[in-house]
Amino acid sequence: MTPEPPPTADSNDGRGPAPLQPSFAFDNSYARLPERFFERLSPTPVSAPALLRVNRELADLLGLDADALASPAGIRVLAGNEIPAGAEPLSMAYAGHQFGGWVPQLGDGRAILLGEIVGRDGVRRDVQLKGAGRTPFSRQGDGRAGLGPVLREYIVSEAMYALGIATTRSLAAVTTGDTIVRETLLPGAVLTRVAQSHIRVGTFQFFAARRDVEALRLLADHVIDRHYPAAREAASPYIALLRAVTDRQASLIADWMGIGFIHGVMNTDNCSIAGETIDYGPCAFMDAYHPDTVYSSIDRNGRYAYANQPSIAYWNLAMFAQTLLPLIDENEEKAVELAREQLETFPETFQAAQLASMRTKLGLEGERDGDAELASELLGCMAADGADFTLTFRGLADIVEPAAEGTCPVARLFHSPDAFTAWAERWRQRLRQQPGGSEARRETEQVRASLRAANPACIPRNHLVEEVIVAAVERGDLAPFARLVEVLASPFEEQQGCERFMLPPRPDQVVRQTFCGT
C-alpha cells in the first residue's frame, strides 16, 4: 500500500522552518451540555498511522491547513494518537430502534467527537474520528474500523455531496498499521467525519426512555439554537422543531429516491436531526431499477428497501415526535394531537418534494396535471424491463427529438422497448407544451442542458466501490480509490476517458449484497 506522502518540513533546529502543526479553532457547544449526554475519553492510539487522503476542499471550507493535516503531526491527530489544542473528545450517548427493535442504549461505540468548528461559510460542524477505539458504548466491540468501510464512506459521502445531497462529509482517512478481526483479518483505518451535528432521533430517544424531561428540553433547545433558530420565535418552539425536522427529512428522502440511493440501515440512531445522510454502512446505488431493491446483507426482510424509505422516514419521525410530547404540552392528549397534526404533513410534503425532483429529472417546466402519472409510467417501464436507473434518466437528453427507428440509445436499455418508446412520445408532447417548446433548436439545447444538469453521468456504482476496496485491502493499491474519488467529484460531466465509470456492471461484476462495517 502506498499512502499519500505527508508534506516535508525541516525540524525546528534554528536552521529551517518549524514543523507543520494542525490548528483547529474549536468551539464545543455539545461538550457544554451536562455530563449525562456523553462520556469524555480520548481515542486509543494506533501503532503506525499513515495518511490515505486529505480532503483539501473541505479543509479549506473549515479554515484548516490541508498541508498541516497531512504532516506527521496532523496524521497523529487524524489517527487519534494526539489530541489537538481546544479539543474536548467525547462519545455521545443515544438509543434507537434497529430494524424496528428497541435498544435502550447504543451510543458512539467506535467514534469520538473531537469538537466543533465554525467554517468559513459560518456553519458550525462536528469533527469526529470514526474507528478511534473502544468507548463505554462499544458493547464488546473493538471500536475500530476496517479499511474497506472507511474507503466506502469516504467515496460515497463525497459523491453524495457532489450530487447535491445533504450529507456528512469526509475530511481525511488514515491507516492505523494495526489489524482488526472481522470475518477475516483486515487492515485498520480511521475516518475523520464532518457533520452539521451527530445528533440523531436516537439521541432524543435515549433521554425519553429515561423520562429525563430536563435533558430532553436541553437537547431540544440545543438543536433549535444550532440548526433551526427560527423555531425559537414560533408560538410553540417544539412543534416548530418537529415541523422543521419533518420537512428536512421529506426533502432528503426525495433526493435519495431521485438518484436511486438505498441507505440500507434507516434505524432511528441513523436518522440525523440536522437532515443529513449519515452512516454509510451497507448503502448502495441501484443499477437495474426495481422499487423492491435491497442490498444490505442484514436487511433480510426488506424493511429498508428502496421503495420503503419514505414510510420508514415517516415511522422514524413518529418516534421523534413521541420524545417531544412532554415538551409540547403538559396535557398528554393535547400534545399527542398537536404532534399528530404536524406528522401528518409528511406524506404530502414528501410527495411534493418527490414530484418536484421528478419534474426536474424529466426536464419539465411548471406544473401540469398528469406529470405524476408521466413519471410513474416511466418508472413502471423501467421496473418491468430492469432498465438501468442512472443511464435511463441521463439518456433522456439524447432523445429530446425523436431518434431514427432502431437507433434510440435509451430504448436499448429495455428488453422490450415498445412501452418505453410510447412513453417517450408522450413525454415529448409534454415538453412541447412548455414555453418555447414547439420552437426550434435553441429550446431543444436548453432542455438537453437542464436534463444533463439534473441527471448524473457517474454515480458510485457498487461494483466500482468494490473494485476500489479489493484493490486497497488485498493488493495495497490506492490508485483506484484516488481515481474514483476524482471522477465522482464531477458527476454531471461526461469526462473524457471515464466511460467505464458510467457503465453498469457486467453480469460477472454485479454486486448483490453490501455489508455493514461493524
Beta partners for residue 179, in sequence order: 187
pLDDT on residue 167: 98
pLDDT in tens, 232-268: 999 999 999 999 999 999 999 999 999 999 999 999 9
DSSP 8-state secondary structure symbol assigned to residue 8: P
Does residue 189 contact residue 52 with C-beta atoms inside 8 Å? yes
Whole-angstrom Cα distance, residue 332 to residue 373? 41
93 closest CA partner among 34, 36, 52? 36
Tell me if residue 149 falls in helix, strand or coil: helix
Catalytic status, residue 269: yes
Residue 399, number of CB atoms within 10 A of its CB: 20
pLDDT on residue 513: 84
* For the chain, counts of helices (H) and of strands (E): 16, 12
pLDDT on residue 9: 45
pLDDT in tens, 74-107: 999 999 999 999 999 999 999 999 999 999 999 9
Q: How far is CA 23 from CA 71, 76, 86, 209, 315, in A?
A: 12, 13, 9, 39, 42
Whole-angstrom Cα distance, residue 162 to residue 367? 27
* Active-site option among 108, 142, 255, 269: 269
Does residue 282 contact residue 379 with C-beta atoms inside 8 Å? no
pLDDT on residue 11: 42
DSSP 8-state secondary structure symbol assigned to residue 101: E
Tell me if residue 193 falls in helix, strand or coil: strand
Whole-angstrom Cα distance, residue 268 to residue 205? 9
Does residue 68 contact residue 193 with C-beta atoms inside 8 Å? no
How buried is residue 152: exposed, middle or buried, by Cβ count under 10 Å (0-12/13-18/19+)? buried
Task: Collect the ranges in the chain with pLDDT lower than 50.
Answer: 8-12
- What pTM was estimated for this model as a whole? 0.94
